[in-house]
Each structure stands twice: as C-alpha cells, then as structure tokens.
Amino acid sequence: MENLIQVCRNILQINMAANEGESLLVVTDNRKREIAGIFAAAGKELGLETMMIVMEERKKSGEEPPVAVKAAMGSADIVLCITEHSLTHTEARKDACRKGAKVATMPGITMDMLSEGAITADFLEVKEVTERVTAFLDNGKEVKLEKDGKTLSFSIAGRKGINSTGMFTEPSASGNLPSGESYIAPVETSGNGEMAVDGSIAGIGVLNEAMIITISDGRLVQASGSKLGAKLLNKLGDGEGRTLCEFGIGTNNKARVTGNVLEDEKVYGTVHLAFGSNHTFGGTVNAGVHIDCVIHRPNVFIDGRLIMENGKLLI
C-alpha cells in the first residue's frame, strides 16, 4: 500500500503541482472508492486540505455528476475524478476549470495502472511529443485515415488541437491521467467513409476482430457485427450521440491496450475516434455520451501530408 501511496504522492506533486495548503477534492463512486481513498491519503500526507465525495455511479461516460458535486468541483484548487465512467466531457469539469481548478480525470483506473503501463512514462517526453502533434492539428484543415483498405476523411478547419500531456500544473489545466494524447473536435457534419476499428471500444473492451464503422456526413450509420456493432449503436442512441466528435493520436510509449480506454487511447501507434459530446473541447455537440474507439497502426494524413505511417509518427 505504501508503494501505491507514493505513486499517488508523485502524481499530485509532479503532474498536478500540488502545494501544501491547497484544497484537493477527490470525486469517486463505489466502484473506484478504494483507489480514490489512496489518492486522498496521499493528499493528506502532503498537507492538502482533502475531501472525498462518493456519488452514485454514472450510467455512461459524459453524464453529468450531481449538482452538489459540480459545485464542490468548482470550489477546489485540485480535482481528481476517479470514477468508473468519464467526467472529462462534462459541464462540471469545464466549469471547474473555468473557475481555476486543476482537474485530472481517471475513468476506469485500476490498481494495476497505478504501478504499470502509462503511468510509468517520462511525462516530459510525452509532453514534447504531444505538443508537436498538436501543432499539426492546430494548423490542419483536413484529416484522412487509411487502414486495411478503408478510408475515412473529415474536416478540422477552424478547430483547435488539445494537449493532454499528463502535466496539469497551471490553474484551469485539465486532462486524463495517465495521459499522452493530442485530440481535436472534427467539424461535425464533415466525416465520410469507413474505418476498421481493431483496438478497443469504451464500454465494450478489447476487440478480437475488427469492427468496420461507416460514417456519412459526420454521423455513424453502420457498425459491423451483429452483437458488438449493435451494442455500440445502442450505447450511442439514435440522436446526436452518433456524431463523430473526436479524433485523437496516442503519444505515450508506455501505455498498453488492455480494454480500459483511459489507457488504450494513449498508446503510441494508435489513433482513436469518438462519438457523442465534444462541446467541452471546441465542438458543438452535447449528447450526454462519449465513446472512444481505438485503432492500431493506421496511416494518417493531414492536408495531404503523411504524418503517421503504419502507426509510426513521421513528425
């Protein structure tokens, strides 16, 4: 247990730049209460004014927490969201950042992830790679993905790339931990084509075979596989949840694909597409759901330039 507390202390001190006397709020649910308690113990050892709130588990990623939790998040210096489903793309997270909180979200984090994989990365290196990728997204207008004979293209014109470096040291900074990705909100009606998703899908897990998804005018219209494809479509619903809302590139060379999207989407050599809400990072959709789909070793073109070939970054 002491080793795990030390890992949590390091995260608070290095990744969150915690200072003695600052207020720390740990938001959790019954599924992740034990891990949250370790972070809370680490916060107390560091002299942080620490509080932990245990809420009812959300039904899906992107669902808002209770109003009282949102209010508490907005009054803390540091917020850790250690929950089964993600609070990353919620108004509560956005509001807390607007009020100056440093927020790290850890949806689905496991005990294993506290000592292995992505959390062990050199985050200064992750930061450098992530910022380099984000610069290309910032300046790009059109993205094209190729994999296994499938092609998908969409516009990112006018949208800003987001750094998720794992380093949230300034007020209003936020992102996932463990981290290492650069992502952007595509123009909502611009996506067209097909793609082979062969890594994992949030809420479904690691895929044994590729799922072919079809996107038309920015909307997911088909997903292969009578069971898993139908499960994905059902999770997204019939409305705005099927909007192509995110494109991301993994930049953490210690991350592993395990079926936990918190780590999966950070894996170097992968990209991910998400459907649902993107209003918290530059898009227009607030669907109450956000589901990521991870893809191994694609080719990625930005404005016609090949920036990733078979999963290897060329920039």
Per-residue pLDDT tens for 234-285? 999 999 999 999 999 999 999 999 998 889 999 999 999 999 999 989 999 9
Is 117 or 235 the better-scoring residue by pLDDT?
235
CATH topology of domain 2-115: Thermophilic metalloprotease-like (3.40.1830)
Average confidence (pLDDT) over 33-43: 97
Domain ranges of the chain: 2-115, 119-313
Tell me the pLDDT band of 225, cut-offs 50, 70 and 90.
Answer: confident
Instruction: Give the pLDDT band (50/70/90) at residue 3.
Output: confident
Give me the mean pLDDT over the 100-123 stretch: 89
More confident residue, 176 or 194: 194
pLDDT reading at 99 higher than 90: yes
At 76, the pLDDT band (50, 70, 90 cuts) reads very high
Whether 122 shows a pLDDT value over 90: the answer reads no
- Rounded mean pLDDT, 153-170: 95
Give the model's pLDDT for residue 97. 97
Alpha-carbon separation of residue 79 from 71, 209, 224, 292 (angstroms): 12, 37, 39, 23
Q: Is the pLDDT of residue 179 over 80?
A: yes
pLDDT (mean) for 299-309:
98
For residue 263, give the H/E element and its range.
Answer: helix 261-264
pLDDT of 226 > 80? The answer is no
In whole numbers, what is the pLDDT of the chain averaged over residues? 95
pLDDT surpasses 90 at 1: no
**Residues in Cβ contact with 11 at an 8 Å cutoff, skipping those fewer than 6 apart:** 39, 42, 104, 119, 177
Where residue 117 falls among pLDDT bands split at 50, 70, 90? confident
Could you tell me the pTM of the whole model? 0.81
Please state the rounded mean pLDDT for residues 135-144.
97
